[in-house]
Amino acid sequence: MSEAEQIPASASEAAASAVLDALNATDSNGTEALNATAKFVATPEGTALAYGSLVFMALLPIFFGALRSVTCSKSKELGENDYDSGFRNAADMPETITSRDAARFPIIASCTLFGLYLFFKVFSQEYINLLLSVYFFVLGVLALSHTMSPLMSRVFPASFPNKQYQLLFTQGSGESKEEIVNYEFDTKNLVCLLISTVVGVWYLLKKHWIANNLFGLAFALNGVELLHLNNVSTGCILLGGLFVYDVFWVFGTNVMVTVAKSFEAPIKLVFPQDLLEKGLEASNFAMLGLGDIVIPGIFIALLLRFDVSLNKNSRTYFYSSFLAYIFGLGLTIFVMHTFKHAQPALLYLVPACVGFPVIIALFKGELTEMFRYEESSEETKEEATESEKKDQ
């Protein structure tokens, strides 16, 4: 595939990992990192299949991650630490992004991106990628295992001997004993972990694009599910900041291109454009960075939770933002092909995903209610507690 025919990606993966954030921006030149063969001119059928598959794969973690975020949010509000997807541990509970986090996020991502750029300039690319491969192997196995848990709960029959286990590490003794690790799991979780490990070994040994996509989809779904914006204003701050970040690093410098070409990790979804000619051994890929899925995805998930809070049996804002995402991603592809130049996807996704729901809320007279919607976080709880103490 020629350089002008590559899906761009923003560098902005979820807040849980600043490294993923800064590295998600994989533009057209990133193809060279995956394809060392001569330039390949894709057929119209191959191009349509690749782009269509990427769009479809991008929609899966957004849709299902948003649905799971609702269950996750309800579990958190009720103070429960267990539900269908295997939430038994504090590490699996949602992380709330506040306006302060959102404002700092583009700065942290920029520093991380530039730091990695310097690393690749100074140190051997081979050794850096070896360390990153091991790191993402561990993360990928855990993410894929967590993603599979709800499915396994439905697949296994009720008669399945599901034993409970607990991994506990403590420090000290007596009253000074402190928990370092307290992880509860069962037999079904072990089966998920075993399957995920097989996929991880496959990825480590072969770097196959299917294994890459399995890890990538798991990362994206977990990001949408577990990263919660506390309100719409925070979402606008985050998306607006990353909008500027994406445009600057794609159009203003070669830093993003250099990192994308050097970085080997499942931080993007890929699909071969020569699949019809070469089958599963195809090697000319179109790609989409996970940041272009997770960042709009957590905003769309927030709007779904807002829909649920209205108690109107309607999902107007969720479906409008979901359709806006499809429109924005389609517009990215169209502009890229028209001008024969890679485009930062958030340049089109952010206005679409924010603008569509806001316009609908304006017409329905619910704009104020939308921006007043607030989800509790540890930070807001602490502030409320301090305020109550002062009042007393």
- 286 within a domain of the structure (yes/no): yes
- pLDDT tens digits, one per residue of 337-363: 888 777 889 999 999 999 999 999 999
> Looking at residue 235, what is its pLDDT?
95
Is 18 inside a domain boundary? Answer: no
Please give the Cα distance from 291 to 20 (Å, whole number).
8
| 181 lies in some domain | no
Give per-residue pLDDT as tens, 253-273: 888 878 877 778 898 899 999
Q: What is the pTM for the complete model shown?
A: 0.83
Task: Name beta bridge partners: 170.
Answer: 179
Residue 170 has pLDDT above 60, yes or no: yes
Residue 135 lies in a domain: yes
Most confident stretch, 43-52, 112-121, 289-298, 329-338: 289-298
3-state secondary structure of 43: coil
How far is the C-alpha of 136 from the C-alpha of 133, rounded, in Å?
A: 5
The CB-side HSE value for 63 (13 A sphere, CA atoms) comes to 11
What is the mean pLDDT of the segment spanning 79-92? 49
Domain contains 247: yes
3-class DSSP state of 8: coil
Among 145, 134, 265, CA closest to 196:
145
How confident is residue 153, by pLDDT bands cut at 50, 70 and 90? confident
Residue 67 lies in a domain: yes
Q: Compute the average pLDDT of residues 225-242.
A: 94
Cα separation, 106 vs 296, in Å, equals 15
What is the number of other CB atoms lying within 10 angstroms of the CB of residue 18?
17
Q: Which long-range contacts (CB under 8 A, 24 or more apart) does 180-185 make?
A: 182/89, 182/90, 183/88, 183/89, 183/91, 184/88, 184/89, 185/86, 185/88
Q: Quick one: which of 239, 222, 184, 182 has its CA closest to 357?
A: 239
Dihedral over Cα of 99, 80, 293, 188: its sign: positive
State how beta strands 95-97 and 227-229 pair. parallel
Q: Answer for the pair 226, 279: CB distance below 8 angstroms, yes or no.
A: no
What value, to the nearest 5°, has the Cα angle with vertex 57 and ends 210 and 375?
A: 125
Q: What are phi and psi of 184, to 5 degrees?
A: -105, 140
Cβ-based neighbours of 241, under 8 Å, separated by 6 or more: 102, 103, 105, 106
**SS3 of the chain: helix, strand, coil, percent, to 5:** 70, 10, 20
CB 2 within 8 A of CB 37: no
Other C-beta atoms within 10 Å of 376: how many? 14
Q: Name the residues annotated as catalytic.
A: 246, 292
Residue 234, domain member (yes or no) = yes
Contact 2, 334 (CB under 8 A): no
Query: Which range of residues forms the domain containing residue 238?
Result: 42-78+94-156+187-372
Instruction: Assign 379 to helix, strand or coil.
Output: helix
Structural domain total, the chain: 1
- What is the pLDDT, as a whole number, of residue 12? 40
128 is a domain residue:
yes
Q: In 156-271, where does DSSP find H-type helix?
A: 187-206, 209-226, 232-247, 255-262
Q: Say whether pLDDT at 32 is over 60.
A: no
Q: What is the pLDDT of residue 19?
A: 38
